[in-house]
Amino acid sequence: MKLSKGNLFIITAASGAGKTSLVKALIADNPKINVSVSFTTRKPRDGEIEGEDYFFVDENKFKKMSKNDEFLETAKCHGSFYGTSKLTVLEILNKGNDIILEIDYQGAFNIKKIFPEAISIFVIPPSINALEERLNSRGLDSKEDIKLRIAAAKNEMSHLEKFDYVTINDDFEKSLIELNKIVNKKSESRELKTKNQILNHKNLIDKLKK
């Protein structure tokens, strides 16, 4: 399927890397860019709003939607299902508007198969210790769950070479500036191309995947 009108951006990150906060700030800077709200079978967290953060559905409803071909992609992450609405994404793109998908690496690969021109961005933490501290500070997971999320994060980050861009969320404002460069197609964003980031931050990236 060809992207003939709007631009499709995919933003992926390991759990706790700060993706959601970055995307919210990015949208505040670029109000004309839409964000696709995913469907999920997981329970809402404190402060999450139906239709704004996610559409929360039970597993039966999700499977029925999947069977009816209502999703562009689906993935299972940390025991819950996630899906991207086909109708919503296509309507936005066909109007000539840009859209961001916040999805995991599996979903990103599936979307890239459908829309090869989509621009994919991977957000990584400055270290595994920083990631663990962020997960602990959220107060949402048990120690055992955090261990599982750290292990999953290392697996997720082992796939970052397949993404178009990488940003390191060490300094929030710096990462936000980098995301703005990418979505606004600034020439300086070339330095954020994955092949350049791997060369410039080889030691960090190697450690994150171990």
Provide the pLDDT confidence category of residue 167 given band limits of 50, 70 and 90: very high
pTM of structure? 0.88
Tell whether the model's pLDDT for residue 78 goes beyond 80. no
Tell whether the model's pLDDT for residue 128 goes beyond 80. yes
Summarize the confidence of residues 2-24 as an average pLDDT. Answer: 85
Contact assessment for residue 71 and residue 65, using Cβ atoms and an 8 Å cutoff: yes
Q: Which residues contact 150 (CB under 8 A, 6 or more apart)?
A: 128, 131, 132, 135
Domains parsed from the chain with CATH numbers: 8-36+98-209 (3.40.50.300)
Q: Which residues contact 109 (CB under 8 A, 6 or more apart)?
A: 159, 162
Provide the pLDDT confidence category of residue 169 given band limits of 50, 70 and 90: very high
Q: Please write the tens of the pLDDT for every residue from 178-208.
A: 999 999 988 889 999 999 999 999 999 988 8
Q: Please write the tens of the pLDDT for every residue from 51-74.
A: 888 999 999 999 999 999 999 999
Residue type, 188: E
Contact assessment for residue 1 and residue 90, using Cβ atoms and an 8 Å cutoff: no
